């Protein structure tokens, strides 16, 4: 049976729906003719609605009901959804008031299908992993033939430091305003809410559902039981969720999302120098019509201009001495810019949730311009010191070959193990701080640009590359041998 058929049966047997409850505050924003915070595209060219729907789509929740007693708000939602063509993504949308909710839910009971219902507020953006864990738990309870009594599933914040920070926004100071309903209790809940009247407080319907559900059969998922290690990010990425009520909250959330794009296990320069500047650039341009691919193209253009500065400088010394002296330093500054911007395109893609297969070819172009810059820097150091080219060129070629080998070992290892070599053990993580990468070679370039013995730049880089190659190859062989025996990697157990 094909995977598509299995997925289709899963979708039919277990219907997954979402109820998004709108607060009174959102309705007031609409009445004042202001675009609701929920619809403002200030989160890296996406709105809170866009981000919610993307996460729901990734977890198979394609039936969405927006619940509000304000007709104007529901109309605004319809227009925005139509403009953004969300229906073409496979979604079906319903728009209903709180009073009509029972009639809406009655339709699913007549179809006699098993279903799970996710309840969330328009003011919250939850980490995709929270929705995924809740969804998996609801499906597991739905399929559990030995225990069909569980009706509600809640998320409990048991991380003490986060609980203290967010306790006033959580329900009963410990539960996230996010409710999973497993069985047919939704009509009972809707009637309960109707009797209580309209929404008067933020998240009041969800508070009532949680209060009601805690008295029934339920299960609780704690935040600490959710795994946080992410192979693709090379680190444990804390699970976050954000409350968005005002425009200033959008700025705070955008900055938090920017920091979430940071990969781990970096060299010292990348972590302490590049990282803050990369995050600042991403934060500034995230809402602009700039694409990650455009940043990649810009990086490549600057890199080849850097190489041009290095190569042409010695040949201008006789007639344009000042230009000849300045060009290498212009090139070096350009190299710093390249080092920073090279991390921006990936972060921009991650913050927008727009990772593509095309983006993976970027590594090949990185290799091309890096090798070009290295050659150009070494060439400058040789020609400016009037060295015999043949023996030194052989050293340059040796360095480029070994550097290519190092990158290939790293990439091949990841392709096989699905975990970065740099994050496969304590030794690997420690060595990653000083291994032969572009930031490290930039320091080599700076040092020998300042010294009179510039020709020794290639020997310095070759030595560093050789040490890196020996460590990479040795560690990769050790890890792969362990993997063949089924006892590695140590982080695989935490992978999500």
| pLDDT computed for residue 35 by the predictor | 86
344-377 pLDDT, tens digit per residue, is: 999 999 999 877 777 778 888 899 999 999 999 9
138 and 267 assigned to the same domain: no
482 and 345 assigned to the same domain: yes
Phi, psi at residue 157, to the nearest 5°? -85, 105
Phi, psi at residue 264, to the nearest 5°? -105, -175
Residues of the chain short of pLDDT 50, as ranges, are: 1-12, 198-202, 491-496
Q: Is residue 253 part of a domain?
A: no
435 and 471 Cβ atoms separated by less than 8 Å: yes
334 and 423 assigned to the same domain: yes
82 and 142 assigned to the same domain: yes
Q: Is residue 39 part of a domain?
A: yes
316 and 412 assigned to the same domain: yes
Q: Is residue 22 part of a domain?
A: yes
Which residues sit opposite 153 in a β-bridge? Answer: 180, 219
182 and 305 assigned to the same domain: no
CB contact burial 245-279 (16+ within 10 A = b; e otherwise)? beeebbeebbeebbebbbbbbbbebbeeebbebbb
Q: Is residue 303 part of a domain?
A: yes
Q: Which residues contact 28 (CB under 8 A, 6 or more apart)?
A: none
Domain-terminating residue out of 212, 232, 252:
232
| pLDDT computed for residue 495 by the predictor | 43
Q: Is residue 247 part of a domain?
A: no
The 3 state secondary structure assigned to 185-221 is CHHHHHHHHHHHCCCCCCCHHHHHHHHHHHCCCEEEE
Please give the tally of structural domains in the chain.
2
* CATH code for the domain in which residue 173 is found: 3.90.550.10
Domain-terminating residue out of 232, 252, 282:
232
Q: Is residue 112 part of a domain?
A: yes
Q: Residue 312 has which token pair?
A: 């042409």
37 and 170 assigned to the same domain: yes
Q: Is residue 248 part of a domain?
A: no
| pLDDT computed for residue 392 by the predictor | 95
The SS3 assignment for 114 reads strand
| pLDDT computed for residue 389 by the predictor | 87
166 and 67 assigned to the same domain: yes
* CATH code for the domain in which residue 364 is found: 1.20.120.1760
Q: Which domain holds residue 11?
A: 3-232
419 and 312 assigned to the same domain: yes
Q: Residue 343 has which token pair?
A: 């991390």
315 and 448 assigned to the same domain: yes
DSSP state of 103: H
DSSP state of 80: H
235-236 and 63-67 beta bridge pairing: unpaired
Cβ neighbourhood burial of 195 (10 Å; 0-12, 13-18, 19+): exposed
Q: Is residue 88 part of a domain?
A: yes
163 and 157 Cβ atoms separated by less than 8 Å: yes
135-169 pLDDT, tens digit per residue, is: 999 988 887 766 567 889 999 999 999 999 998 89
**Cα–Cα nearest to 16, from 68, 69, 58, 73:** 58
CA 383 to chain centre: 45
Cis peptide before 489 (omega within 30 of 0): yes
CB contact burial 216-232 (16+ within 10 A = b; e otherwise)? eebbebebeebebbbbe
85-126 pLDDT, tens digit per residue, is: 888 878 999 999 887 887 777 765 555 567 889 999 999 999
302 and 214 assigned to the same domain: no
The SS3 assignment for 66 reads strand
| pLDDT computed for residue 489 by the predictor | 57
Which residues sit opposite 116 in a β-bridge? Answer: 16
| pTM greater than the 0.85 cutoff | yes
The 3 state secondary structure assigned to 331-353 is HHHHHHHHHHHCCHHHHHHHHHC
Phi, psi at residue 66, to the nearest 5°? -95, 130
| pLDDT computed for residue 450 by the predictor | 96
The 3 state secondary structure assigned to 410-457 is HHHHHHHHCCCHHHCCHHHHHHCCCCCCHHHHHHHHHHHHHCCCHHHH
209 and 277 assigned to the same domain: no
């Amino acid at each position: 049976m094909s995977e598509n058929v299995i997925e289709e049966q899963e979708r039919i047997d277990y219907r997954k729906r979402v109820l998004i409850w709108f607060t009174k505050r959102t309705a007031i924003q609409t009445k004042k003719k202001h675009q609701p915070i929920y619809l403002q595209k200030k989160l890296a060219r996406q709105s809170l609605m866009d981000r919610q729907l993307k996460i729901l789509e990734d977890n198979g929740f394609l039936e969405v009901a927006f619940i509000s007693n304000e007709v104007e708000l529901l109309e605004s939602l319809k227009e925005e959804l139509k403009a953004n063509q969300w229906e073409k993504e496979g979604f079906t949308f319903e728009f209903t008031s709180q009073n009509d909710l029972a009639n809406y839910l009655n339709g699913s009971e007549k179809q006699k299908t098993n279903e799970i219902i996710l309840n969330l507020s328009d003011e919250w953006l939850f980490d995709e992993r929270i929705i995924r864990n809740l969804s998996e738990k609801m499906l597991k309870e739905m399929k559990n033939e030995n225990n069909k009594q569980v009706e509600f599933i809640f998320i409990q914040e048991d991380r003490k430091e986060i609980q203290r920070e967010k306790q006033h926004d959580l329900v009963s100071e410990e539960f996230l305003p996010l409710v999973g309903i497993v069985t047919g209790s939704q009509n009972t809940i809707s009637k309960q809410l109707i009797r209580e009247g309209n929404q008067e407080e933020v998240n009041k319907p969800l508070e009532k559902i949680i209060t009601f559900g805690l008295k029934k059969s339920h299960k609780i998922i704690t935040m600490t039981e959710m795994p946080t290690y992410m192979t693709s990010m090379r680190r444990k990425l804390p699970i976050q969720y954000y409350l968005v009520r005002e425009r200033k909250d959008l700025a705070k959330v955008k900055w938090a999302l920017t920091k979430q794009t940071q990969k781990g296990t970096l060299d010292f320069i990348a972590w302490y120098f590049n990282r803050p500047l990369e995050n600042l650039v991403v934060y500034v341009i995230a809402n602009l019509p700039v694409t990650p691919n455009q940043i990649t193209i810009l990086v490549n253009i600057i890199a080849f201009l850097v190489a041009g500065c290095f190569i042409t400088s010695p040949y201008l010394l006789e007639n344009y001495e000042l230009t000849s002296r300045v060009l290498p330093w212009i090139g070096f500054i350009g190299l710093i810019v390249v080092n920073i911007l090279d991390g921006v395109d990936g972060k921009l893609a991650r913050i927008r949730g727009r990772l593509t297969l095309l983006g993976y070819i970027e590594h090949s172009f990185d290799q091309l311009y890096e090798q070009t810059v290295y050659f150009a820097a070494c060439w400058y150091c040789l020609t400016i010191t009037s060295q015999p080219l043949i023996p030194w060129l052989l050293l340059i070629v040796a360095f480029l070959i070994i550097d290519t080998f190092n990158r290939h070992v790293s990439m091949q290892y990841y392709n096989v193990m699905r975990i970065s070599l740099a994050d496969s053990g304590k030794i690997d993580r420690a060595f990653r701080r000083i291994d032969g990468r572009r930031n490290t070679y930039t320091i080599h370039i700076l040092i020998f640009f300042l010294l009179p013995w510039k020709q020794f730049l290639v020997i310095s880089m070759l030595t560093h590359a050789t040490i890196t190659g020996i460590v990479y190859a040795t560690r990769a062989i050790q890890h792969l041998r362990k993997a063949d025996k089924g006892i590695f990697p140590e982080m695989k157990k935490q992978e999500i």
